[in-house]
Structure 1
Amino acid sequence: MNNPMAAIILKDESYKVMGALFEVYREMGCGYLEAVYQECCEFEFTEQAIPFSPKTELTLRYKQNELKSKYIPDFICYGKIIVELKAVAVITSQHRAQVHNYLMATNFPLGIIANFGHYPKLEYERIVR
Protein backbone atom coordinates (compact mmCIF):
# COMPACT_ATOMS: atom_id res chain seq x y z
CA MET A 1 0.00 0.00 0.00
CA ASN A 2 1.53 3.33 -1.09
CA ASN A 3 1.21 6.33 1.17
CA PRO A 4 1.76 9.54 -0.87
CA MET A 5 2.36 11.48 2.37
CA ALA A 6 5.37 9.22 3.07
CA ALA A 7 7.14 10.23 -0.16
CA ILE A 8 10.46 11.97 0.38
CA ILE A 9 10.39 15.52 -0.93
CA LEU A 10 13.11 16.27 -3.50
CA LYS A 11 14.51 12.77 -2.98
CA ASP A 12 17.21 12.75 -5.69
CA GLU A 13 18.42 16.28 -5.00
CA SER A 14 18.49 15.88 -1.23
CA TYR A 15 20.34 12.53 -1.49
CA LYS A 16 23.03 14.21 -3.61
CA VAL A 17 23.33 17.09 -1.12
CA MET A 18 23.50 14.66 1.81
CA GLY A 19 26.17 12.61 0.01
CA ALA A 20 28.30 15.74 -0.34
CA LEU A 21 27.79 16.64 3.33
CA PHE A 22 28.76 13.09 4.42
CA GLU A 23 31.89 13.31 2.26
CA VAL A 24 32.93 16.57 3.94
CA TYR A 25 32.43 14.98 7.36
CA ARG A 26 34.35 11.87 6.28
CA GLU A 27 37.30 14.01 5.18
CA MET A 28 37.29 16.64 7.94
CA GLY A 29 35.60 15.04 10.95
CA CYS A 30 34.31 17.29 13.71
CA GLY A 31 36.02 20.07 15.64
CA TYR A 32 36.42 22.86 13.08
CA LEU A 33 34.54 26.14 12.96
CA GLU A 34 31.46 26.43 10.77
CA ALA A 35 33.36 28.63 8.28
CA VAL A 36 35.73 25.73 7.52
CA TYR A 37 32.82 23.41 6.73
CA GLN A 38 31.23 26.17 4.62
CA GLU A 39 34.33 26.33 2.45
CA CYS A 40 34.65 22.54 2.24
CA CYS A 41 31.01 22.20 1.21
CA GLU A 42 31.54 24.74 -1.58
CA PHE A 43 34.39 22.59 -2.93
CA GLU A 44 32.35 19.38 -2.58
CA PHE A 45 29.16 20.79 -4.13
CA THR A 46 31.26 21.99 -7.07
CA GLU A 47 33.04 18.61 -7.34
CA GLN A 48 29.71 16.75 -7.37
CA ALA A 49 28.06 19.22 -9.80
CA ILE A 50 25.42 20.27 -7.26
CA PRO A 51 24.05 23.71 -8.17
CA PHE A 52 24.37 26.02 -5.15
CA SER A 53 24.43 29.61 -4.00
CA PRO A 54 26.33 30.39 -0.79
CA LYS A 55 25.24 33.06 1.69
CA THR A 56 22.36 34.45 -0.39
CA GLU A 57 20.49 37.35 1.28
CA LEU A 58 16.78 36.67 1.66
CA THR A 59 14.39 39.61 1.84
CA LEU A 60 11.98 39.61 4.76
CA ARG A 61 8.63 41.33 4.86
CA TYR A 62 6.38 42.59 7.62
CA LYS A 63 2.82 43.55 6.56
CA GLN A 64 3.89 44.16 2.96
CA ASN A 65 6.92 46.21 4.05
CA GLU A 66 10.40 45.07 3.09
CA LEU A 67 12.66 44.88 6.12
CA LYS A 68 16.28 46.04 6.25
CA SER A 69 17.16 42.87 8.18
CA LYS A 70 17.98 39.90 5.96
CA TYR A 71 18.13 36.16 6.47
CA ILE A 72 21.30 34.59 5.07
CA PRO A 73 21.24 30.79 4.87
CA ASP A 74 24.54 28.99 4.36
CA PHE A 75 23.47 27.49 1.02
CA ILE A 76 20.59 27.28 -1.38
CA CYS A 77 21.00 24.10 -3.44
CA TYR A 78 19.13 23.33 -6.66
CA GLY A 79 17.34 26.66 -6.21
CA LYS A 80 14.92 25.06 -3.74
CA ILE A 81 16.74 23.44 -0.80
CA ILE A 82 18.03 25.45 2.17
CA VAL A 83 21.18 23.94 3.69
CA GLU A 84 22.16 25.28 7.09
CA LEU A 85 25.50 24.23 8.57
CA LYS A 86 26.23 23.97 12.27
CA ALA A 87 29.31 23.04 14.30
CA VAL A 88 27.69 22.50 17.71
CA ALA A 89 27.23 19.61 20.17
CA VAL A 90 23.59 18.97 19.15
CA ILE A 91 20.90 20.40 16.89
CA THR A 92 18.46 22.44 18.99
CA SER A 93 14.91 23.70 18.57
CA GLN A 94 16.37 27.16 17.79
CA HIS A 95 18.26 25.68 14.82
CA ARG A 96 15.08 24.01 13.61
CA ALA A 97 13.16 27.28 13.97
CA GLN A 98 15.86 29.12 12.01
CA VAL A 99 15.55 26.72 9.06
CA HIS A 100 11.76 26.75 9.28
CA ASN A 101 11.85 30.57 9.05
CA TYR A 102 14.14 30.37 6.01
CA LEU A 103 11.62 28.05 4.37
CA MET A 104 8.75 30.40 5.16
CA ALA A 105 10.71 33.37 3.77
CA THR A 106 11.50 31.57 0.51
CA ASN A 107 8.52 29.22 0.06
CA PHE A 108 11.08 26.47 -0.57
CA PRO A 109 9.84 22.99 0.30
CA LEU A 110 12.89 21.56 2.09
CA GLY A 111 15.63 22.53 4.50
CA ILE A 112 18.55 20.45 5.73
CA ILE A 113 20.44 21.13 8.95
CA ALA A 114 23.90 19.53 8.93
CA ASN A 115 25.76 19.52 12.23
CA PHE A 116 29.49 18.91 11.83
CA GLY A 117 30.14 19.38 15.56
CA HIS A 118 28.60 16.03 16.47
CA TYR A 119 30.82 13.00 17.08
CA PRO A 120 31.23 10.26 15.82
CA LYS A 121 29.09 11.03 12.76
CA LEU A 122 27.35 13.87 10.96
CA GLU A 123 24.09 14.83 12.66
CA TYR A 124 21.42 16.04 10.25
CA GLU A 125 17.72 16.77 10.03
CA ARG A 126 15.35 17.38 7.14
CA ILE A 127 12.84 20.15 7.73
CA VAL A 128 9.81 20.12 5.42
CA ARG A 129 7.65 23.22 4.92
Structure 2
Amino acid sequence: MWRAGFGCRSKRNSSRITLMNADDSVPNSVPPPRELIDGETSGKIIGAFFVVYNTLGFGFLESVYERAMYVALRNRGVYVKRQVPFEIYFEGDLVGRHRADLLVEHRVVVEIKANHTLQEGAKRRLLNYVTALNLDLGLLLHFGHRAHHYRVLGKRRPNEQITNPSASG
Protein backbone atom coordinates (compact mmCIF):
# COMPACT_ATOMS: atom_id res chain seq x y z
CA MET A 1 0.00 0.00 0.00
CA TRP A 2 2.83 2.45 0.80
CA ARG A 3 4.98 3.37 -2.13
CA ALA A 4 8.39 4.82 -1.32
CA GLY A 5 9.56 7.55 -3.64
CA PHE A 6 12.95 6.11 -4.49
CA GLY A 7 14.14 5.66 -8.05
CA CYS A 8 15.56 2.14 -7.72
CA ARG A 9 13.77 -1.19 -7.79
CA SER A 10 14.88 -4.68 -7.04
CA LYS A 11 15.06 -7.16 -9.90
CA ARG A 12 12.17 -9.06 -8.38
CA ASN A 13 9.85 -6.02 -8.57
CA SER A 14 11.24 -4.42 -11.71
CA SER A 15 8.75 -3.03 -14.20
CA ARG A 16 8.33 -4.70 -17.57
CA ILE A 17 8.84 -2.82 -20.81
CA THR A 18 6.95 -3.51 -24.04
CA LEU A 19 9.39 -4.49 -26.76
CA MET A 20 8.41 -4.00 -30.39
CA ASN A 21 9.32 -6.31 -33.27
CA ALA A 22 11.31 -4.97 -36.20
CA ASP A 23 8.13 -4.05 -38.08
CA ASP A 24 6.76 -2.16 -35.01
CA SER A 25 3.31 -3.65 -35.54
CA VAL A 26 3.23 -6.69 -33.24
CA PRO A 27 4.43 -6.22 -29.66
CA ASN A 28 6.05 -9.10 -27.82
CA SER A 29 3.90 -10.74 -25.16
CA VAL A 30 4.61 -8.25 -22.38
CA PRO A 31 1.73 -6.69 -20.44
CA PRO A 32 1.31 -2.90 -20.80
CA PRO A 33 2.62 -0.76 -17.92
CA ARG A 34 0.12 0.39 -15.32
CA GLU A 35 -0.75 4.06 -15.44
CA LEU A 36 0.49 6.06 -12.46
CA ILE A 37 -2.33 7.59 -10.42
CA ASP A 38 -2.21 11.37 -10.91
CA GLY A 39 1.28 10.95 -12.35
CA GLU A 40 1.54 14.42 -13.87
CA THR A 41 0.38 16.18 -10.70
CA SER A 42 2.53 14.06 -8.38
CA GLY A 43 5.51 14.65 -10.68
CA LYS A 44 5.08 18.41 -10.33
CA ILE A 45 4.78 18.11 -6.55
CA ILE A 46 7.86 15.91 -6.23
CA GLY A 47 9.81 18.21 -8.55
CA ALA A 48 8.90 21.22 -6.40
CA PHE A 49 9.82 19.20 -3.28
CA PHE A 50 13.37 18.66 -4.49
CA VAL A 51 13.73 22.32 -5.56
CA VAL A 52 12.63 23.44 -2.08
CA TYR A 53 14.80 20.86 -0.31
CA ASN A 54 17.89 21.64 -2.40
CA THR A 55 17.40 25.37 -1.78
CA LEU A 56 16.50 25.39 1.92
CA GLY A 57 18.09 22.16 3.13
CA PHE A 58 17.25 20.52 6.46
CA GLY A 59 16.46 22.26 9.74
CA PHE A 60 13.51 24.62 9.31
CA LEU A 61 10.04 24.26 10.81
CA GLU A 62 7.35 22.42 8.84
CA SER A 63 5.49 25.70 8.34
CA VAL A 64 8.47 27.14 6.42
CA TYR A 65 8.58 24.14 4.08
CA GLU A 66 4.80 24.26 3.66
CA ARG A 67 4.89 27.90 2.60
CA ALA A 68 7.88 27.26 0.32
CA MET A 69 6.05 24.33 -1.33
CA TYR A 70 2.99 26.54 -1.78
CA VAL A 71 5.09 29.23 -3.48
CA ALA A 72 7.00 26.71 -5.63
CA LEU A 73 3.81 25.04 -6.87
CA ARG A 74 1.92 28.29 -7.40
CA ASN A 75 4.85 29.79 -9.34
CA ARG A 76 4.78 26.73 -11.62
CA GLY A 77 1.10 27.27 -12.43
CA VAL A 78 -0.22 24.50 -10.17
CA TYR A 79 -3.47 25.09 -8.24
CA VAL A 80 -2.70 24.63 -4.54
CA LYS A 81 -4.39 25.48 -1.23
CA ARG A 82 -2.77 25.55 2.21
CA GLN A 83 -4.23 24.37 5.52
CA VAL A 84 -7.39 22.91 3.99
CA PRO A 85 -9.92 22.08 6.74
CA PHE A 86 -11.91 18.87 6.70
CA GLU A 87 -14.18 17.08 9.15
CA ILE A 88 -14.33 13.49 10.37
CA TYR A 89 -17.71 11.86 10.96
CA PHE A 90 -18.56 8.64 12.77
CA GLU A 91 -22.07 7.22 12.45
CA GLY A 92 -23.31 10.59 11.28
CA ASP A 93 -21.77 12.62 14.12
CA LEU A 94 -18.87 15.03 13.83
CA VAL A 95 -15.98 13.56 15.82
CA GLY A 96 -13.01 15.59 14.65
CA ARG A 97 -11.58 18.37 12.56
CA HIS A 98 -8.23 18.34 10.79
CA ARG A 99 -6.27 20.46 8.34
CA ALA A 100 -4.35 19.10 5.39
CA ASP A 101 -1.03 20.88 4.83
CA LEU A 102 -1.61 21.20 1.07
CA LEU A 103 -4.30 20.17 -1.38
CA VAL A 104 -3.02 20.20 -4.96
CA GLU A 105 -5.35 20.42 -7.98
CA HIS A 106 -8.24 19.26 -5.71
CA ARG A 107 -6.79 15.74 -6.22
CA VAL A 108 -3.67 15.13 -4.13
CA VAL A 109 -3.30 15.77 -0.41
CA VAL A 110 0.24 16.59 0.72
CA GLU A 111 1.54 16.13 4.26
CA ILE A 112 4.85 17.77 5.17
CA LYS A 113 7.20 16.56 7.90
CA ALA A 114 10.48 18.21 8.91
CA ASN A 115 11.85 16.22 11.84
CA HIS A 116 15.14 14.29 11.71
CA THR A 117 13.41 10.90 11.54
CA LEU A 118 9.92 10.25 10.28
CA GLN A 119 7.48 9.36 13.06
CA GLU A 120 5.92 5.91 12.91
CA GLY A 121 2.33 7.10 12.44
CA ALA A 122 2.96 9.71 9.72
CA LYS A 123 2.15 7.41 6.79
CA ARG A 124 -0.94 6.03 8.49
CA ARG A 125 -2.18 9.54 9.30
CA LEU A 126 -1.81 10.50 5.64
CA LEU A 127 -3.77 7.41 4.59
CA ASN A 128 -6.53 8.53 6.96
CA TYR A 129 -6.48 12.01 5.35
CA VAL A 130 -6.66 10.50 1.85
CA THR A 131 -9.59 8.32 2.93
CA ALA A 132 -11.43 11.15 4.73
CA LEU A 133 -11.04 13.45 1.71
CA ASN A 134 -12.12 10.63 -0.64
CA LEU A 135 -9.01 10.98 -2.81
CA ASP A 136 -6.85 8.50 -4.70
CA LEU A 137 -3.44 9.80 -3.70
CA GLY A 138 -1.50 11.43 -0.92
CA LEU A 139 2.15 12.41 -0.80
CA LEU A 140 4.22 12.54 2.36
CA LEU A 141 7.18 14.89 1.91
CA HIS A 142 9.89 14.42 4.51
CA PHE A 143 12.28 17.36 4.77
CA GLY A 144 14.53 15.39 7.10
CA HIS A 145 18.27 14.87 7.25
CA ARG A 146 17.78 13.29 3.81
CA ALA A 147 14.92 14.14 1.45
CA HIS A 148 12.33 11.36 1.09
CA HIS A 149 8.84 11.23 -0.34
CA TYR A 150 6.20 8.53 -0.02
CA ARG A 151 3.07 7.85 -2.08
CA VAL A 152 -0.06 6.74 -0.25
CA LEU A 153 -2.84 5.26 -2.35
CA GLY A 154 -6.46 5.73 -1.31
CA LYS A 155 -9.24 3.18 -1.35
CA ARG A 156 -11.75 5.08 -3.52
CA ARG A 157 -13.55 2.91 -6.04
CA PRO A 158 -13.12 3.85 -9.73
CA ASN A 159 -16.80 4.78 -10.22
CA GLU A 160 -16.93 7.15 -7.23
CA GLN A 161 -16.66 10.86 -7.89
CA ILE A 162 -13.99 12.99 -6.27
CA THR A 163 -15.59 15.50 -3.94
CA ASN A 164 -14.17 18.97 -3.65
CA PRO A 165 -13.50 19.54 0.07
CA SER A 166 -12.73 23.21 -0.51
CA ALA A 167 -16.00 23.98 -2.33
CA SER A 168 -17.87 24.61 0.92
CA GLY A 169 -15.34 27.08 2.27
Alignment TM-score, normalising by the size of structure 1? 0.90
1:36-76 C-alpha deviation (Å, 9 max, x unpaired): 11111111111111111100111110101123x21211000
> d(CA) in 2 for partners of 1:62 and 1:101?
13
Decide which of 14, 25, 31 is 2:53's aligned counterpart: 25
Q: Is the Cα contact below 8 Å between 2:44 and 2:73 reproduced in 1?
A: no
Work out which of the residue numbers 82, 95, 107 in structure 2 matches 1:80. 107
Kindly state the Cα deviation for residue 113 of structure 1 after the two structures are TM-superposed. Answer: 0.3
What per-residue deviation string (whole Å, max 9, x for no partner) do you get for residues 8-48 of structure 1? 11111110111111110011011111111111111111111
- 2:31 maps to a residue whose letter is N
* Segments ≥4 residues shifted beyond 3 Å: none
Structure 2 SS opposite 1:50: coil
Match of 2:130 among 103, 108, 113: 103
* Structure 2 residue 152 is matched with structure 1 residue 123: no
Q: Percent identity?
A: 24
Return 5+ residue gaps in structure 2 as ranges: 1-29, 155-169
Q: Which runs of 5+ in 1 are unaligned?
A: none
Three-state SS of the structure 1 residue aligned to 2:151 is strand
Number of residue equivalences: 125
Deviation, 1:79, is 0.1
1:60 and 2:88 are equivalent in the alignment? yes
> Please, what TM-score do these two structures have when normalized by structure 2?
0.70
Helix, strand or coil for the counterpart of 2:100? coil
Distance 1:89 1:40 in 2: 19
CA contact (8 A) 1:32 1:117 kept: no
Query: Do the aligned partners of 1:103 and 1:110 also contact (CA within 8 Å) in 2?
Result: yes
More helix by share: 1
